[in-house]
Structure 1
Amino acid sequence: MVTWLRVGCAVIAICVVSLVMLPLQILCLRFDWKLRRYLPRYWHRIACYWLGVRVHVIGQPERSRPLMLAANHSSWLDILVLSSVVDVAFIAKSEVRDWPIFGQFAQWQKSVFIEREQKRKTGDQVNEIAERMANGEIMVLFPEGTTSDGNRLLEVKSSLFGAAAAALPKTPDAVVHVQPVAVAYTRIHGIAMGRYYRPIAAWPGDIELVPHLKDIVACGAIDVDVCFGEAVEYRADTKRKDVSATVARRIRNMLSSRLLGREIA
């Protein structure tokens, strides 16, 4: 009974906030007002509160621009968590557009959906990412290309950093900053989550979205650490695979440190 009451209250609260904020966001998108970049952060903070997701930030976002954040990816919760901390837009695979609930929200946040099977469209989308980064927007890339079980970083695909290279000609200093970010789900009801319970937060494989969402709301007490690492400078003579390897190493180190409850060196 208590569980369903919690779910009901969370759903009602998020729906009410959405009914108030979404019309304004849609209007901002229609006229491309800068407010569209900032409004989602407040919605995501409220959503995290009602879902019982407590976000702890370690470090800070790089202040230099253009900026791309490269983060590990284990759940749809990552979007809510990152958006509650920084004003960002996401680079997502095209399938995300068709997800129930979150696909529509991703469009309202002006995510860029990459059509990997259609090279011509991919080029247009990479150019859009480059333009938006050059205009000061922070773009988030999940370089694993899929979700993990939350206990490790999967292989990072260096090809996905092509958008950073495409932004170079549009920047005054000919440098794009790529900052590694680790998102670690660490505790449930204040107790260390461990590998066994981390699937409560993680969303790998073919797990259905709605039941997973219900389980998150029913749980109501998940702690997540968001760690910002040292940014990598991407220049014209930089090798994409070197950037990919450095970013992957830093994400992996931060993720392991938080999951093991250690301080980041």
Structure 2
Amino acid sequence: MIQRRPPSVRRLAAARTAIGAVVTAAAIVPAELLLRALTLRNRPYLPIWFHRGLARSLGVRIVTHGQPARRECVLYVANHVSWSDIPVLGARIEASFVAKSEVAGWGPVGWFANFAHTVYVARDRRSAAADQRNAIARRLNGGGSLILFPEGTNSDGTGVLPFKSALFSVAGDVPGLIIQPVTLAYTRVNGLPVTRRQLPDLAWVGDTELGPHARGFIGLGRVTAEILFHDPIDPADYPDRKALARHCHGVIAAGYRRLMRGG
């Protein structure tokens, strides 16, 4: 039987989350704007601290295995489970995200995405694929790093969806690019292994609205998110973008099964 916190506790947790996000943003935004004014380098400087504060306010404990590549110009390729992936990965990786263009219009979410120098792509417009690849290549060639969700949408938490290979073609436009596969899994709730009945409150899928899902997520209690950093790879070692996407998918999917089994 799933133990959920009473409504009064969930409301308190939601208020704590909102207050924590506002306080963290209030401390970070002025410094970020100042740094933008003093430099031409277009990358996230302080959002990593915002993500850490937001993850804590959501009640998420982050456990990492391995570490992100210690260099510039890295394309991190990760599976996608929920909206909460953003603060979780952002708390451990100093990089911007590649997100679908609709995110820019999601009110405060879009504002924070802009604040973190997100690169937007229109995933449903094949005609725009070249422009999107070029935008990603420009950011990487400028010395920035990016986090890409090649599933193109959120999974239901039972596994990793097939990867779309189109944006992997950016590897040919960025000399010296390193790709690092990353597995993210929500493995425990209040210290106990996640059950299938809890997955709908963790994974954000379908037409579920963000607000109700966020309340359900917070209502679960203390959530453990695990990040597994796999060995970085050289895209030149693969014959084409599809082979590269298949390799990343295989590594990340195997890592997901391992984390969900508690291995």
SS at match of 1:85: coil
- What's the counterpart of residue 45 of structure 1? 52
SS at match of 1:241: helix
Superposition pairs of residues 48-197 of structure 1, within 5 angstroms: 48-116=55-123, 122-167=129-174, 171=175, 175-197=176-198
- Are the equivalent residues in 1 in contact too, given 2:184–2:228 (CA < 8 A)? yes
What percent of counterpart residues are identical? 34
The letter of the residue matching 2:206 is G
- Are the equivalent residues in 2 in contact too, given 1:74–1:150 (CA < 8 A)? yes
Q: Is the deviation greater in 124-133 or in 54-63?
A: 124-133
- Residues 169-214 of structure 1 show CA distances to partners (whole Å, capped at 9, x for unaligned) of xx3xxx3211111100000001101222122211011111011112
Q: Does 1:23 align with 2:30?
A: yes
- What's the counterpart of residue 244 of structure 2? 243
- What's the counterpart of residue 262 of structure 2? 261
SS at match of 1:232: coil
CA distance in 1 between partners of 2:53 and 2:13 (Å)? 15
SS at match of 1:15: helix
Q: 1:31 to 1:162 in 2, by over 3 A?
A: farther
The letter of the residue matching 2:186 is Y
CA distance in 1 between partners of 2:73 and 2:123 (Å)? 24
Q: Is the deviation greater in 209-218 or in 228-237?
A: 228-237
The letter of the residue matching 2:216 is D
Taking structure 2 as the reference length, the TM-score comes to 0.89
> Per-residue deviation at 1:24?
3.1
CA distance in 2 between partners of 1:105 and 1:43 (Å)? 10
Q: Unaligned regions of 5+ residues in structure 2, if any?
A: 1-7
CA distance in 1 between partners of 2:247 and 2:238 (Å)? 16
> Per-residue deviation at 1:135?
2.9
CA distance in 1 between partners of 2:230 and 2:212 (Å)? 33
SS at match of 2:235: strand
- Are the equivalent residues in 2 in contact too, given 1:6–1:218 (CA < 8 A)? yes
- Are the equivalent residues in 1 in contact too, given 2:123–2:152 (CA < 8 A)? no
SS at match of 1:211: helix
- Are the equivalent residues in 2 in contact too, given 1:126–1:163 (CA < 8 A)? yes
The letter of the residue matching 1:129 is I
> Per-residue deviation at 1:34?
4.7
Taking structure 1 as the reference length, the TM-score comes to 0.88
- Residues 71-124 of structure 1 show CA distances to partners (whole Å, capped at 9, x for unaligned) of 000101111101000111111111221224322211111111113455675434
Match of 1:10 among 17, 22, 29: 17
- Say what the alpha-carbon RMSD is for the aligned residues: 2.2
Q: Unaligned regions of 5+ residues in structure 1, if any?
A: none
CA distance in 2 between partners of 1:10 and 1:62 (Å)? 30
The letter of the residue matching 2:86 is I
Question: Number of residue pairs matched?
Answer: 256
Q: 1:152 to 1:120 in 2, by over 3 A?
A: closer
- What's the counterpart of residue 4 of structure 2? none
